[in-house]
């Protein structure tokens, strides 16, 4: 029989029993829907962490004082001297920059915005992969002269100069700074805070380290973070450990944390793998259940249509023809279930994004896999009923009541 | 591929054919030592009481079952040598079946039922409709093409079944008690139709309880307990027994 005729026969038979067909594929529908929605959550998390880590770079390390535990006095923190020691000790260092941070109001003309003000040195640009859209970054002369110049993150530039042409004086906190450069916008993960506390460079204003006035800071040498980048990404973990030891020794046992995006990436990958295994297990179980439902219905169909099978055999259908007819039916059923399930899963994924505020992402490949698996279930679980139908004895089938 | 063309050889040749069905430890003998030649163009009636082996004989003739002893040749071809594909091909092209309870597929229209054998043959798809329509016309059922089998009377259903059997132009038509489920008037019509079919190389084998129907054949084989009891021309053929349906 030609595929067209087979398809026609199958469709007809399924449409004849609409309710039964619909009920029989519910298992497949919900199985595929659950898998689609879950994998969209996993994919969303994966893309988010990749975006975050991509922003930080896998060869950078951020060293900062651990927030003091409640009740105890704050530790001595990091200082410029620590930055120097780390720079001397860590092997294969590419760039290192001390960082002071403050959140201050910024204004230019009538425009106002809250900004993260970053006081740092020129090396920060390389250490943190900063790309300039226009102008220049903080220079050595700016630092040594304590000049009041500023480089604006893309978002802040847009907020303060909505009509473009960022330049001239801006007020940051209580001081005036002269804008010398604007950074390129950087994609940052939206939504809930990710596993990495990372600086949103779009909202940052970079100024020379000495120019960031920290008011009555008891420690004029103190810095909040030390950011460095190593030349060989595979040795970043080692470098981070060295840097932490250096800082801890110099501060007399205070504890510091290091943020190593590469490690976090690894951890994320492990979590992702577990998530994938769980998703896969659920997919397998639900498709198994769906498949058993299909097999049940197909077996009932074969029993009900025993006489029809006998008639078709008498009229010249080979065993293969009979088997194909039933296989096409079960495959059509599960593919329909797969399509409906994928659609439901897409809706589910959008609902999760909307109401749970989790980032979700649908990969076309995942949808394709879901459909192929549904087809596989149809063929796999339709096989036995089809085989049964094909091996009915024609004479007995004809006498079947 | 088996083809049936030579008019000089019997269309069907059975040599000492036997059939046993296993029943637990023992077995039931449904046919023994049946030797029979069926010539092209014949109208042959097979009679016998229930359990005499009529249906088994028909199943073997129709390649729906294989004998356990002896040899069956259809159109010169040893049926025992054929695989499922070749047997199906024979059933499709060489054999036409007409059953007592019509065996139309209830979900399909009359026309689609008649088309069904073409699904399994070589006739191009474009010709199916036309062939089926022609076959229905031949049995006087063209006006019922788009009806469902459930909407047909018994006589109409059997006509549709005959149209289906004829659509592939088979050389051997096997009719199993074709008037058994019909009242005498429609039975008469169907008997008329079936007995008009042999000739032009088409052979009809008619299995029946009904003396009246059997009397319309030219040759009569009587079976008893799975053996041929008699085989010869229908006695009093010129006398033409009245057809009485329902006589069993």
Give percent of chain B above pLDDT 90.
71
Judged by CB atoms closer than 8 Å, whether chains meet at B64 and A2 is answered as no
pLDDT of B153 strictly over 50? yes
pLDDT at B246: 44
Q: What is the dihedral of CA A47, A53, A56, A62, to 10 degrees?
A: 150
Give the pair of three-digit tokens for residue A3. 């595929």
Chain B positions touching A5 (Cβ under 8 A) are 119, 125
The closest alpha carbon to A382, from A294, A300, A277, belongs to: A294
pLDDT of B143 strictly over 50? yes
C-alpha A274/C-alpha A249 separation (Å) is 38
Chain B positions touching A12 (Cβ under 8 A) are 107
B189 to chain A, closest Cα gap in Å:
24
Query: Which tops the pLDDT comparison, B32 or A265?
Result: B32
Judged by CB atoms closer than 8 Å, whether chains meet at A313 and B89 is answered as no
For strands B219-224 and B43-47, give the pairing: parallel
Chain A positions touching B121 (Cβ under 8 A) are 316
Give the pair of three-digit tokens for residue A373. 């698996």
Whether A111 and A101 have beta carbons less than 8 Å apart is answered as no
Chain A positions touching B85 (Cβ under 8 A) are 318, 320
C-alpha B11/C-alpha B28 separation (Å) is 29
Whether A374 and A287 have beta carbons less than 8 Å apart is answered as yes
Judged by CB atoms closer than 8 Å, whether chains meet at B105 and A308 is answered as yes
Task: For chain A, give the number of residues.
Answer: 401
pLDDT of A99 strictly over 50? yes
Residues A199-258: tens digit of each pLDDT: 788 889 999 988 886 665 556 778 888 999 998 878 888 888 888 888 888 877 677 888
Cβ–Cβ contact B54 with A under 8 A? no
Question: Domain B12-233 belongs to what topology?
Answer: Rossmann fold (3.40.50)
User: What's the whole-number average pLDDT of chain A?
Assistant: 86
Judged by CB atoms closer than 8 Å, whether chains meet at B107 and A319 is answered as no
The domain segmentation of chain B, as residue ranges, is 12-233
Judged by CB atoms closer than 8 Å, whether chains meet at A313 and B103 is answered as no
Mean local confidence (pLDDT), A323-348: 93
C-alpha A56/C-alpha A298 separation (Å) is 55
- The contacts of residue A380 (CB under 8 Å, 6+ apart) are A291
Q: What's the burial of B127, exposed, middle or buried (CB within 10 Å: 0-12/13-18/19+)?
A: exposed
In this complex, the residue of B88, B103, B105 whose CB is nearest that of residue A316 is B88
Chain A positions touching B116 (Cβ under 8 A) are 311-312, 315
Whether A80 and A219 have beta carbons less than 8 Å apart is answered as no
Cβ–Cβ contact B180 with A under 8 A? no
Mean local confidence (pLDDT), A68-97: 78
pLDDT at A57: 75
C-alpha A65/C-alpha A207 separation (Å) is 22
Judged by CB atoms closer than 8 Å, whether chains meet at B92 and A316 is answered as yes
pLDDT of B215 strictly over 70? yes
In this complex, the residue of B59, B62, B120 whose CB is nearest that of residue A1 is B120
Residues facing B43 on adjacent strands: B204
Residues A350-376: tens digit of each pLDDT: 998 888 878 888 888 888 888 898 899
Count of beta carbons in the 10 Å neighbourhood of residue A43 = 19
Residues A3-28: tens digit of each pLDDT: 888 898 888 888 888 888 898 899 88
C-alpha B216/C-alpha B194 separation (Å) is 10
Q: How confident is the model at residue B241 (pLDDT cuts 50, 70, 90)?
A: very low
B85 to chain A, closest Cα gap in Å:
6
The domain segmentation of chain A, as residue ranges, is 3-52+267-399, 67-254
Whether A64 and A259 have beta carbons less than 8 Å apart is answered as yes
Query: Which tops the pLDDT comparison, A55 or A298?
Result: A298
C-alpha A249/C-alpha A227 separation (Å) is 18
pLDDT at B5: 52
* Segment among A131-140, A281-290, B28-37 with least mean pLDDT: A281-290
Judged by CB atoms closer than 8 Å, whether chains meet at B88 and A313 is answered as yes
Judged by CB atoms closer than 8 Å, whether chains meet at A321 and B120 is answered as yes
Q: How confident is the model at residue A109 (pLDDT cuts 50, 70, 90)?
A: confident
In this complex, the residue of B59, B121, B125 whose CB is nearest that of residue A316 is B121
pLDDT at B96: 95
Residues B169-184: tens digit of each pLDDT: 999 999 999 998 899 8
The chain B residue lying nearest A391, using CA atoms, is B84
Chain A positions touching B97 (Cβ under 8 A) are 314-315
Judged by CB atoms closer than 8 Å, whether chains meet at A395 and B65 is answered as yes
Whether A121 and A95 have beta carbons less than 8 Å apart is answered as no
Q: What is the dihedral of CA B96, B201, B157, B207, to 10 degrees?
A: -70
B47 to chain A, closest Cα gap in Å:
19
pLDDT at A214: 64
C-alpha A81/C-alpha A14 separation (Å) is 78
Question: Rg for chain B (alpha carbons), in Å?
Answer: 18
Q: Which DSSP category does A107 fall into?
A: E
Q: Which residue is associated with the tokens 């040195």?
A: A121
Give the pair of three-digit tokens for residue A360. 């979700």
Give the pair of three-digit tokens for residue A209. 């380290």
C-alpha B194/C-alpha B214 separation (Å) is 11
Give percent of chain A above pLDDT 70.
92
Phi/psi of residue A55, each to 5°? Answer: -70, -35
Q: How confident is the model at residue A193 (pLDDT cuts 50, 70, 90)?
A: very low
The closest alpha carbon to A20, from A382, A329, A368, belongs to: A329
In this complex, the residue of A9, A318, A395 whose CB is nearest that of residue B64 is A395
Cβ–Cβ contact B51 with A under 8 A? no
pLDDT of A401 strictly over 80? no
C-alpha B153/C-alpha B150 separation (Å) is 8
Residues B217-236: tens digit of each pLDDT: 999 999 999 999 999 888 76
Give the pair of three-digit tokens for residue B205. 């084998």
Judged by CB atoms closer than 8 Å, whether chains meet at A317 and B88 is answered as yes
Judged by CB atoms closer than 8 Å, whether chains meet at B119 and A5 is answered as yes
Judged by CB atoms closer than 8 Å, whether chains meet at A16 and B107 is answered as yes
User: What's the whole-number average pLDDT of chain B?
Assistant: 89
Judged by CB atoms closer than 8 Å, whether chains meet at A314 and B91 is answered as yes
pLDDT at B31: 92
B235 to chain A, closest Cα gap in Å:
32
pLDDT of A194 strictly over 80? no
The answer to whether ipTM exceeds 0.85 is: yes
Helix axes A306-314, B84-93, angle to 10 degrees: 80
């Amino acid at each position: 029989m030609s595929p067209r005729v087979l398809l026609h026969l199958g469709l007809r038979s399924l449409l004849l029993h609409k309710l039964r067909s619909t009920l029989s594929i519910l298992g497949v529908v919900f199985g595929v829907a659950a898998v689609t929605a879950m994998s969209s959550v996993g994919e969303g998390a994966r893309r988010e962490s990749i975006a975050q880590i991509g922003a930080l770079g896998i060869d950078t390390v951020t060293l900062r004082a651990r927030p003091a535990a409640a009740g105890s006095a704050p530790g001595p923190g990091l200082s410029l001297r620590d930055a120097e020691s780390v720079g001397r000790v860590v092997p294969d260092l590419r760039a290192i920059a001390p960082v002071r941070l403050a959140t201050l109001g910024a204004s230019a003309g009538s425009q106002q915005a809250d900004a993260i003000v970053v006081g740092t040195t020129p090396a920060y640009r390389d250490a943190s992969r900063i790309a300039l859209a226009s102008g220049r970054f903080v220079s050595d002369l700016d630092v040594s002269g304590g000049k009041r110049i500023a480089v604006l993150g893309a978002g802040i530039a847009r907020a303060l100069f909505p009509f473009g042409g960022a330049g001239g004086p801006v007020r940051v906190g209580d001081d005036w700074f002269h804008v010398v450069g604007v950074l390129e916008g950087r994609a940052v993960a939206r939504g809930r805070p990710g596993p990495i506390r990372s600086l949103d460079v779009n909202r940052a204003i970079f100024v020379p380290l000495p120019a960031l006035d920290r008011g009555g800071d008891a420690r004029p040498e103190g810095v909040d973070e030390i950011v460095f980048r190593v030349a060989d990404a595979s040795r970043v973990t080692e470098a981070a450990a060295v840097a932490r030891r250096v800082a801890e020794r110099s501060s007399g046992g205070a504890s510091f944390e290091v943020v190593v995006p590469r490690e976090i990436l690894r951890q994320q990958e492990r979590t992702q793998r577990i998530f994938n295994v769980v998703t896969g297990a659920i997919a397998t179980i639900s498709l198994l259940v769906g498949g058993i439902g299909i097999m049940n219905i197909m077996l009932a169909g074969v029993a009900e249509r025993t006489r029809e099978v006998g008639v078709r055999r008498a009229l010249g259908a080979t065993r293969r023809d009979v088997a194909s007819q039933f296989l096409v039916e079960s495959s059509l059923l599960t593919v329909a279930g797969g399509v409906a399930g994928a659609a439901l899963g897409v809706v589910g994924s959008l609902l999760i994004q909307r109401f749970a505020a989790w980032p979700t992402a649908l990969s076309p490949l995942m949808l394709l896999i879901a459909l192929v698996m549904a087809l596989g279930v149809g063929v796999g679980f339709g096989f036995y009923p089809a085989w049964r139908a094909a091996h009915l004895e024609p004479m007995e089938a004809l006498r079947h009541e | 591929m088996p083809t049936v063309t030579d008019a000089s050889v019997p269309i069907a040749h059975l040599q000492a054919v036997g059939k046993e069905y296993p029943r637990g430890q023992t077995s039931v003998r449904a046919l023994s030592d049946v030797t029979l030649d069926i010539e092209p163009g014949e109208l042959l009636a097979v009679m016998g009481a229930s359990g005499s082996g009529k249906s088994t004989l028909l199943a073997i003739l129709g390649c729906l079952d294989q004998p356990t002893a002896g040899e069956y040749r259809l159109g010169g071809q040893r049926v025992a040598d054929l695989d499922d594909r070749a047997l199906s091909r024979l059933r499709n092209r060489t054999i036409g079946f007409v059953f007592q309870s019509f065996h139309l597929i209830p979900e399909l229209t009359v026309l689609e039922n008649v088309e069904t054998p073409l699904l399994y043959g070589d006739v191009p798809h474009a010709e199916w409709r036309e062939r089926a329509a022609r076959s229905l016309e031949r049995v006087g059922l063209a006006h019922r093409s788009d009806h469902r089998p459930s909407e047909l009377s018994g006589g109409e259903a059997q006509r549709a079944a005959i149209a289906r059997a004829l659509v592939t132009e088979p050389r051997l038509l096997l009719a199993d008690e074709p008037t058994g489920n019909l009242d005498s008037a429609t039975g008469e019509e169907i008997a008329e139709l079936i007995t008009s079919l042999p000739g032009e190389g088409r052979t009809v084998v008619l299995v029946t309880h009904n003396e009246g129907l059997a009397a319309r054949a030219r040759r009569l084989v009587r079976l008893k307990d799975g053996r041929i009891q008699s085989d010869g021309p229908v006695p009093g053929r010129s006398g033409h027994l009245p057809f009485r349906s329902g006589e069993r």
